[in-house]
Amino acid sequence: MTVHIGAAKGDIAETVLMPGDPLRAKWAAERFLENPVCVNEVRGMLGFTGMWRGNRVTIHGSGMGMPSLSIYANELLRDYGAKTLIRIGSCGAMQTSVKLRDVILAMTASSLSTPSKGTFRELNFAPCADYGLLQAAYTAAAGKGSGIHVGGIYSSDVFYDERPDLNEQMVRHGVLAVEMEAAELYNLAARYGARALAVLTVSDHLLTEEALPSEDRQSSFSDMVEIALEAAFA
């Protein structure tokens, strides 16, 4: 048991999928895992452990934003021995070639600031995904019929952004999409010698202002879970 996770030692699997929303963690565990057991509900952040095709898996919420994810990822890696963390979530597209419902596999994650900035100080560390996971996820995603994009994303530390000039530069430099967690996830994976990947579905578009209705987001989320599971155990 840690400050933020009430699971006992051994309750957490070495492979952890991390949606932002704890209720999505519950939904995914009940839909995809055999005999899921709730192992955490401290502060309403739900975590479940079960089996997928003979492999032990935990699905645990991360909350919104890098500070929240950093708390849970640190404790999962440091205190529970997690070895693979895969973020599954939504993102906003920043390129015209990227469409709603497309899947983005984040090879790198740029940011203005992360909770790890105090550790790196003057160094502009370049956090990136685990290549083996990235390759396996691409193979898994290819069979889903959605558009697939591999490249850099932007992890923002604010949701209501008021920097159109910065967005213009990211579009200009080929950044595929924006979300709020992956950069710190990749930082922590590097620090602890773990594997990490962000598998994202495009739920809205910053350029066209399109957005998926809530029911379509749920079906797209199913594809992300399947891609993440298949990649983790490829």
Give the H or E element holding residue 185. Answer: helix 182-192
Give the H or E element holding residue 14. Answer: none
Of 83, 34, 75, 27, the C-alpha closest to 225 is 27
d(CA 163, CA 153): 16
Catalytic-role residue among 11, 204, 216, 223: 204
d(CA 97, CA 218): 23
64 is in an annotated binding site: no
Backbone angles phi, psi at 114, to 5 degrees: -140, 165
107 is in an annotated binding site: no
118 is in an annotated binding site: no
In sequence order, which residues have a C-beta less than 8 Å from that of residue 231 and are 6 or more positions away? Answer: 86, 133, 136, 137, 139, 140, 197, 199
151 is in an annotated binding site: no
204: annotated active-site residue: yes
User: What residue type is 99 in one-letter code?
Assistant: K
61, β-bridge pairs: none
Structure tokens at 156: 């923002």
81 is in an annotated binding site: no
230 is in an annotated binding site: no
Backbone φ/ψ region at 171: left (φ over 0), alpha (ψ -120 to 50), beta: alpha
43 is in an annotated binding site: yes
63 is in an annotated binding site: no
Cα–Cα–Cα angle for 188, 191, 194, rounded to 5 degrees: 75
d(CA 190, CA 172): 28
88 is in an annotated binding site: yes
53 is in an annotated binding site: no
179 is in an annotated binding site: yes
Residues annotated in the binding site for a purine D-ribonucleoside, as ranges?
4, 179-181, 203-204
Give catalytic residues, as residue numbers. 204
